[in-house]
């Protein structure tokens, strides 16, 4: 039986180097106690925030000292817990770190309400009287911007204290799906038993044997059917928390509250959804090409991930993927390329799946650590693209951290998802230009089309689902598993109109953790749209456009997202980047259709 290895069976060279954060768990514990002992220092400034420019500067510098060390404590614990979600010691460490973060947030919850007592004129006087405050100007102006939605110091403290409780649905969901659930075992075409996991499900859905794909699909979603009430309740409670929190802060909707935190107009979200909805014919064309490529009368749910080539494609081992990804980013400049190569040599990446490891992939770290990338690498083209994606996030963090002070280095997700997809797009161009193996070239083209499908269209579908279920709660209506199934199935049917969707696909919402992240997913779709436009500029104009893009990355969170993206020459308030991205997608469909003689 093909099974997932234990972590101890994986070579150290393919595990991330967390010892560079803390040498061992004892060092972590000492750091935890040290930062815990400093939290009371934060409370000493309550009621004094605006007594003088010097006092304000002292508090902001103290806040930075405490939270920078706290971030290291938290990230170490969380990354250790992600290595094996069954490890109770590391789960306890992660929970303790989360509690400490809540305690620290509560201790300084008075900061924004007190700052908001300042007028713009008084703030200008503070900045003139204490030149060192100038570096905090964007932060201070943003705090004043949020004044209508900030409650009293007492209420803010209560909300901070409740953060552990309000995050419970997401944490419970994570433990259920990563640590407790199993997803079934099926017999592959060679008669060998294969364990289905969240990490390998998509790859198994690309197996050329259609009956095997059907068994995998139905077995997988049958497991989700057994927990639909639990998952449905957890998602319903998460949505209600989003709606309640928005109401507490005097927003009309949860969506408005979520987007206002990064100062992204709701119109940007609506423009994305409306523009993609008008372009669904292009997605339907992709589905029809898949049906023709597979030689079937009707495309079904278990066919959606299939390659247009009809097979799984060549293996791409991790070391080969690393080489190609490094080569691909050459248009972004020598320094960018060398920094990425050095990071990979320094064990930024935890490469392979192990039993109990958190599913999916992410890039993490803090201002004072190297980036850390979690992968569940599957030796395929898709995994190579995921590596490129996460390294885009890591390089964004590196460049922003170098260029910005701590309080301006953290960037919004809206910008982050551009950095990740620029790398994917560059990888596509590089491989199509340099690889001679026609089979691999075809699969690269197909993979990029799949990335467009799953990022631009699928994530916009997710965004629409998320909006609809929040609107239902805001209207005082029930949000049951049946309602979630029906809402999701209706949307899936619209987006994949040429297909006959069955086999439990209406329960797909259960396996999407991003629905707990409060209007997060739309940024994947805006990100790929901006990325496509940026790469076109870089490849056409060369170093000047690459320099503009690097400036965007270096800006971090020093300005609002739309203004940061504009540094790279892209206007995300307009539908133009989205329409352009769909046009690129359609052009690639033309290319693959001609290559495979499908039309």
The torsion region of residue 10 among left (phi > 0), alpha (psi -120 to 50) and beta comes to: beta
Among 165, 91, 183, CA closest to 507:
183
Non-local CB neighbours of 29 within 8 Å, separated by 6+ positions:
none
Catalytic annotation on 390? yes
Cα 290 from chain centroid (whole Å): 28
**Residue-by-residue DSSP string for 149-203:** G---HHHHHHHHHTHHHHTHHHHHHHHIIIII----EEE-TTS-EEE--TTTHHH
Which ranges of 84-119 would DSSP assign to H, the alpha helix? 88-107, 111-115
Q: Which helix (H) or strand (E) holds 349?
A: strand 349-352
User: Which residues, other chains included, contact 272 with Cβ-Cβ below 8 Å and sequence gap of 6+?
Assistant: 460, 463, 522, 525, 526, 529, 578
Give residues with Cβ within 8 angstroms of 45, minimum separation 6. 55, 58, 59, 62
d(CA 481, CA 483): 5
Residue 186, φ and ψ in degrees, nearest 5:
-130, 160
Q: Can you name the residues that pair with 374 across neighbouring β-strands?
A: 350, 362
Spell out the residues 6+ positions from residue 342 whose beta carbon is closer than 8 angstroms to its own: none
Q: How far apart (Å, rounded) are the C-alpha atoms in residues 459 and 523? A: 8
Q: Any bridge partners for residue 499, and if so which?
A: 299
Among 418, 420, 432, 442, smallest CA distance to 324 is for: 432
Checking phi first, is residue 47 left (phi over 0); if not, alpha (psi -120 to 50) or beta? Answer: left
**Which is nearest to 77 in space by CA: 59, 61, 98, 108?**
98
Stretch (H or E) spanning 342: helix 334-345
Cα gap 338→156, rounded to integer Å: 44
Task: Specify whether the CB–CB gap between 268 and 572 falls below 8 A.
Answer: yes
Task: Collapse the DSSP code of 502 into the 3-class scheme (helix H, G, I; strand E, B; otherwise coil) and give the result.
Answer: coil
> What's the chain's Rg over C-alpha atoms?
24
Q: Strand, coil or helix: what is 454?
A: helix
Selecting among 156, 390, 398, 510, the annotated active-site residue is 390
Cα 107 to Cα 239: distance, rounded to the nearest angstrom: 27
Catalytic positions are 390
């Amino acid at each position: 039986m093909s099974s997932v290895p234990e972590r101890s069976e994986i070579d150290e060279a393919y595990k991330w180097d967390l010892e560079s954060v803390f040498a061992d768990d004892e060092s972590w514990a000492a750091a935890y106690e040290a930062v815990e002992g400093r939290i009371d220092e934060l409370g000493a400034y309550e009621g004094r925030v605006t007594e003088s420019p010097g006092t304000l500067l002292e508090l902001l510098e103290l806040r930075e000292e405490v939270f920078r060390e706290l971030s290291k404590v938290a990230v170490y614990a969380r990354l250790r817990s992600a290595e094996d979600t069954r490890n109770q010691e590391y789960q306890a460490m992660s929970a303790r770190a989360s509690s400490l973060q809540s305690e620290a947030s509560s201790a300084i919850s008075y900061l924004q309400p007190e700052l908001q007592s300042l007028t713009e004129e008084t703030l200008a006087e503070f900045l003139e009287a204490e030149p060192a405050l100038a570096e905090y100007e964007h932060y201070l102006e943003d705090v004043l911007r949020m004044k209508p939605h900030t409650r009293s110091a007492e209420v803010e403290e209560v909300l901070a204290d409740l953060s552990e409780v309000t995050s419970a649905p997401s944490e419970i969901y994570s433990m259920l799906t990563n640590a407790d659930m199993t997803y079934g075992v099926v017999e592959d075409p060679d008669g060998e038993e294969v364990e289905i996991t969240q990490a390998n499900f998509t790859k198994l859905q690309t197996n050329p044997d259609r009956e095997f794909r059907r068994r995998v699909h139905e077995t997988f979603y049958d497991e989700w059917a057994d927990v639909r009430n639990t998952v449905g309740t957890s998602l319903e409670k998460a949505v209600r928390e989003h709606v309640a929190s928005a109401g507490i802060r005097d927003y009309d909707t949860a969506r408005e509250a979520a987007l206002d935190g990064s100062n992204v107009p709701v119109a940007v979200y609506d423009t994305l959804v409306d523009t993609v909805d008008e372009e669904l014919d292009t997605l339907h064309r992709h589905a029809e090409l898949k049906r023709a490529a597979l030689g079937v009368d009707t495309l079904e749910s278990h066919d959606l991930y299939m390659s247009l080539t009809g097979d799984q494609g060549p293996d791409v081992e991790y070391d080969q993927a690393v080489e190609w990804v490094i080569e691909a980013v050459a248009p972004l400049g020598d320094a960018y390329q060398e920094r990425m190569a050095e990071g990979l040599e320094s064990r930024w990446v935890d490469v392979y799946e192990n039993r109990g490891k958190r599913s999916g992939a992410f890039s993490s770290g803090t201002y004072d650590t190297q980036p850390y990338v979690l992968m569940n690498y599957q030796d395929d083209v898709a995994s190579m693209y995921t590596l490129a994606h996460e390294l885009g996030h890591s390089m964004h963090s590196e460049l922003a951290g170098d260029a910005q002070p701590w309080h301006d280095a953290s960037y919004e997700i809206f910008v982050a998802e551009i950095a990740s997809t620029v790398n994917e797009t560059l990888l596509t161009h590089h491989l199509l230009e340099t690889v001679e193996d026609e089979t691999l070239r075809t699969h690269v083209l197909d993979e990029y089309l799949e990335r467009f499908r799953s990022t631009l269209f699928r994530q916009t579908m997710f965004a629409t689902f998320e909006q609809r279920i929040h609107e239902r709660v805001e209207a005082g209506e029930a949000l049951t598993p049946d309602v979630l199934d029906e809402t999701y199935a209706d949307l899936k049917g619209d987006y994949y109109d040429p297909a006959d969707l069955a086999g439990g696909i209406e329960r797909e919402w259960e396996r999407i953790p991003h629905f707990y992240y409060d209007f997060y997913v739309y940024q994947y779709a805006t990100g790929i749209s901006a990325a496509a436009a940026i790469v076109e500029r870089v490849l056409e104009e060369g170093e000047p456009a690459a320099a503009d893009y690097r400036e965007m990355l270096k800006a971090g969170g020093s300005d609002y997202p739309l203004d940061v993206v504009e540094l790279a020459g892209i206007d995300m308030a307009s539908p133009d980047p989205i329409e352009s991205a769909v046009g690129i997608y359609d052009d690639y469909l033309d290319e693959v259709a001609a290559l495979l003689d499908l039309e």
